[in-house]
Amino acid sequence: MSDTVNVRTCLWFASGGLAAARRYVALIPNSVLENDPLSGPEPIVVLFTLNGVPFQILNGGPRYHLTPAASIAVTTGDQAETDRLWAALVEGGEESYCGWLVDRWGVSWQIVPDVLPRLLGASDRVAAGRAMQAMLTMRKLDIAGLEAAFLGAQ
């Protein structure tokens, strides 16, 4: 096998992929835009990494459209980081439920506090069910609300 095999998720944009990639790398720590032309035309393929995960955007025109069938999932460590990313990504886009949103370019995102998988996977299935029910009512996920539901305090 060759060591030159690389894998990237490709997002098809009608146009504007460079602006989107610039925004994404500014928001996600440890991210880099790999082929940013400081001047000149926008590249057809924009290469970038988000916290070490490789992506590319293909500015391919209006033939295909992004859907929520594929999303970028981001795990956050606390409510402040959840709030920061949610606010920045939903600006010009649209909120959905359960921590999902669609940004202004049509990319679907899941902004998920790291506590959620622990609550939903807890051995106390009744408490996990309460956390799940609370999550289903939320747009942006609220850690205190999820934990309160888990504990039966709501």
Amino acid in position 45: V
The model's pLDDT over 62-88, given as tens digits with 9 standing for 90+, comes to: 999 999 999 999 999 999 999 999 999
Closest C-alpha to 17, from 71, 58, 73, 53: 58
27 sits in which H/E element: helix 17-27
Token pair belonging to 77: 């460590």
Look up the CATH number of domain 1-65: 3.10.180.10
In this predicted structure, what is the pLDDT of residue 4? 85
What pLDDT, on the 0 to 100 scale, is given for residue 150? 98
Query: 3.40.30.10, 3.10.180.10, 2.40.50.140, 3.40.50.150: which CATH number matches 66-154?
Result: 3.10.180.10
Looking up tokens 């610039």, which residue turns up? Answer: 22
β pairing state of 71-76 and 108-113? parallel
The DSSP letter of residue 124 is -
Give dist(CA 61, CA 65) in Å, integer.
9
Look up residue 114 and give its amino acid. Answer: D
User: For the chain, which residues make up each domain, given as ranges?
Assistant: 1-65, 66-154
Residue 48: predicted pLDDT: 98
Residues in the chain where the model's pLDDT stays below 70: 1-2, 154
What pTM value is reported for the model?
0.93
Q: How far are the Cα atoms of 2, 11, 56, 141 from residue 106, in angstroms, in the given order?
A: 35, 10, 15, 20
Domain 66-154 in the same topology as domain 1-65: yes
Helix (H) or strand (E) holding 114: none
- Token pair of 116 as six digits: 């959620």
Report CA-CA distances (Å) from 27 to 11, 30, 63: 18, 9, 28
pLDDT of residue 154: 64
